[in-house]
Chains A and B, each alone.
Chain A
Amino acid sequence: DGGITQSPKYLFRKEGQNVTLSCEQNLNHDAMYWYRQDPGQGLRLIYYSQIVNDFQKGDIAEGYSVSREKKESFPLTVTSAQKNPTAFYLCASSIGGDSYEQYFGPGTRLTVT
């Protein structure tokens, strides 16, 4: 079955620690995205990548970093510089080109205390 996987579902970290969230897709999609979702707000774009070895900052990239070394994988690191990291993080992918429908993974809920 093709899809997007994110692990773990729940993640707890202490303040000051970096943490990496996993996102893997076997849909053969070119484009991948990271969003965060906070209560009462729309999804906000953190980073996106349209092709391997290339990525761009979204609206709220500060305190985050990504890599895209393989087509299937787009891990997100939440660094200690991110002032308010507790949130629900969603990874998505799309075919690319003229297709913009995004397919989402199940999400990772990160809690930093």
Chain B
Amino acid sequence: GQNIDQPTEMTATEGAIVQINCTYQTSGFNGLFWYQQHAGEAPTFLSYNVLDGLEEKGRFSSFLSRSKGYSYLLLKELQMKDSASYLCAVLDSNYQLIWGAGTKLIIKP
């Protein structure tokens, strides 16, 4: 079966750094997405990794290791507005997105 694992919930402090991990076991791999979703709202695109390594985009970075079936999203200089769920999704061999359950990130002042 296909499986994507993320921690259910994480807590961090405003101004700090947090790393959200995602491990996957899927039938094929054609890339990995990270989305941000505020409560009751639509997911919005954060990053897409298809090759190994780190991609940096402002305060957010995403890392991929295909051999380990592992990715992480790194958020720096945390702000209160970063409180949201972060969804990891893998594009499988049929080019369908397989979604993790999401990690709820709580930022404390």
**B residues in contact with A88, CB < 8 Å:** 40
Given contacts A42-B99, A43-B87, contact A100 B31 (CB under 8 A): yes
**A residues in contact with B31, CB < 8 Å:** 100
Contact of B40 among A40, A100, A107 (CB under 8 A): A107
Contact B33–A101 (Cβ < 8 Å)? yes
A-B pairs with beta carbons under 8 A, tally: 49
How many Å lie between the Cα of A109 and that of B30 in the bound state?
A: 31
B54 CB-CB contact with A under 8 Å:
no
Contact B44–A104 (Cβ < 8 Å)? yes
Given contacts A100-B31, A101-B45, contact A42 B102 (CB under 8 A): yes
Given contacts A41-B101, A42-B101, A43-B99, contact A101 B48 (CB under 8 A): yes
Q: Which residues 59-113 of A sit at the B interface, judged by CB distance below 8 A?
A: 88, 90, 100-107, 109
19 pairs from A and B in contact (CB 8 Å cutoff) = A42-B4, A42-B98, A43-B43, A43-B87, A43-B89, A43-B99, A58-B96, A88-B40, A90-B42, A100-B30, A100-B31, A100-B97, A101-B33, A101-B45, A101-B48, A102-B45, A104-B42, A104-B43, A107-B42
Interface, chain A (partner B; CB < 8 A): 4, 35, 40-45, 48, 58, 88, 90, 100-107, 109
